[in-house]
């Protein structure tokens, strides 16, 4: 049963830019579920992939500032981007367990950490807090016939002692949500393998091999599409596929919106590099 009706919301830079369809679909889905999302006022970039390797204290201060803003709201904060979630979760871990670095963050940001709000990823909120029964009860157009694999990527589930995901080697939460939408979920062993998103610019040929390996394994599993919650993974999976028939990639919230019968669902496909409309028409969902 759903116990929390409102969450703070940290979109991060991607969801206000290249992943705008993720932002839009997430907001529409939460509205349909009757759950409030209040975007953090004056949030800042988490410093993404460069901060932790270039200037660790700056990363702690930037993410600590966002946590301080969330703390003022009194609501747990949803972070749909895997990278943003990972960085903020690491800072939360420091705030809870490292007195010296907690003092640094508190002084840099000018706040006192009290541990009353938590950083949460989208799958945890939807699957564990809002609940699968609530998701299933809002399905108007079951995704029956759409064969998919759930893809977490590497950042969302690692390091396990920091992100505290349900199972870092064999997670099941995404599949459970897809089951609630009545999609045909295919089993595979590559759900937490890296797609190469972090080296897509420096070593694009390597990233392309990693992407196409994942697509090949998804096809071998019988899937027609890949479902993820990571903006970098989705972009990389769409951009780096070869010239043959391309496999569609969805954000989970897009498929939730489709299953909920939301009118705006069609508008989200326009932002994709691989248009999934043909696939959805072929299985009777459009």
Model pLDDT for residues 123-164, shown as the tens digit of each residue: 999 999 999 999 999 999 999 999 999 999 999 999 999 998
Contact between residue 259 and residue 280 where contact means Cβ atoms under 8 Å apart: no
Q: In what order do the strands lie in the sheet with 77-78?
A: 36-39, 6-9, 77-78, 119-120
Instruction: Name residues whose C-beta falls within 8 Å of residue 45's C-beta, 6 or more positions apart in sequence.
Output: 12, 13, 62
Measured CA to CA, the distance from residue 146 to residue 4 in angstroms comes to 31
Say whether pLDDT at 238 is over 80. Answer: yes
pLDDT of residue 107: 98
Q: Which of 26-35, 41-50, 84-93, 179-188 has the lowest mean pLDDT?
A: 41-50
pLDDT of residue 2: 52
Q: And the tokens for 116?
A: 């009353």
Q: Which of 144-148, 184-188, 238-242, 254-258 has the lowest mean pLDDT?
A: 238-242
Whole-number percent of the chain with pLDDT over 90: 88
pLDDT of residue 244: 78
Q: Which of 108-112, 129-133, 212-216, 239-243 has the lowest mean pLDDT?
A: 239-243
Say whether pLDDT at 41 is over 80. Answer: yes
Average pLDDT on 43-57 reads 81
Say whether pLDDT at 50 is over 50. Answer: yes
Q: And the tokens for 10?
A: 């940290």
Contact between residue 117 and residue 77 where contact means Cβ atoms under 8 Å apart: yes
Closest CA to 262 of 30, 18, 40: 30
Q: What are the structural domains, with CATH classification, of the chain?
A: 6-120 (1.20.1050.140), 140-282 (3.40.50.11810)
Measured CA to CA, the distance from residue 234 to residue 166 in angstroms comes to 22
Measured CA to CA, the distance from residue 229 to residue 152 in angstroms comes to 7
State the pairing for strand pair 36-39/147-151.
unpaired
pLDDT of residue 1: 46
The pLDDT-based confidence of 242 (bands split at 50, 70, 90) is confident
Contact between residue 259 and residue 265 where contact means Cβ atoms under 8 Å apart: no
Torsion of Cα atoms, 51 then 55 then 61 then 64, to 10°: 40
Measured CA to CA, the distance from residue 185 to residue 146 in angstroms comes to 8
């Amino acid at each position: 049963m759903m116990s929390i009706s409102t969450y703070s919301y940290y979109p991060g830079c991607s969801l206000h830019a290249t992943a705008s369809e993720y932002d839009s679909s997430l907001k529409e889905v939460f509205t349909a579920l009757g759950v409030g999302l209040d975007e953090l006022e004056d949030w800042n970039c988490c410093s993404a992939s460069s901060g932790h390797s270039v200037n660790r204290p700056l990363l702690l201060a930037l993410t600590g500032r966002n946590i301080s803003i969330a703390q003022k709201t009194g609501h747990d904060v949803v972070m749909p981007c895997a990278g943003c979630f990972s960085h903020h979760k690491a800072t939360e871990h420091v705030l809870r367990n490292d007195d010296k670095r907690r003092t640094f963050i508190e002084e840099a940001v000018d706040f006192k950490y009290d541990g009353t709000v938590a950083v949460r990823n989208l799958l945890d909120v939807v699957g564990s807090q809002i609940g699968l029964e609530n998701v299933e009860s809002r399905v108007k157009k079951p995704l029956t016939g759409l064969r998919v694999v759930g893809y977490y990527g590497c950042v969302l589930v690692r390091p396990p002692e920091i992100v505290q995901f349900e199972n870092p080697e064999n997670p099941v939460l995404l599949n459970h949500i897809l089951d609630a939408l009545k999609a045909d979920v295919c089993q595979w062993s590559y759900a937490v393998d890296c797609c190469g998103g972090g080296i897509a610019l420096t070593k694009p040929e390597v990233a392309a091999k990693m992407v196409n390996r994942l697509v090949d394994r998804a096809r071998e599993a019988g899937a027609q599409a890949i479902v993820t919650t990571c903006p970098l993974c989705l972009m990389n999976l769409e951009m780096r596929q070869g010239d043959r028939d391309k496999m569609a990639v969805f954000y989970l919230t897009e498929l939730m919106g489709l299953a909920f019968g939301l009118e705006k669902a069609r508008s989200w496909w326009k932002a994709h590099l691989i248009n999934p409309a043909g696939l959805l028409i072929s299985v009777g969902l459009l």
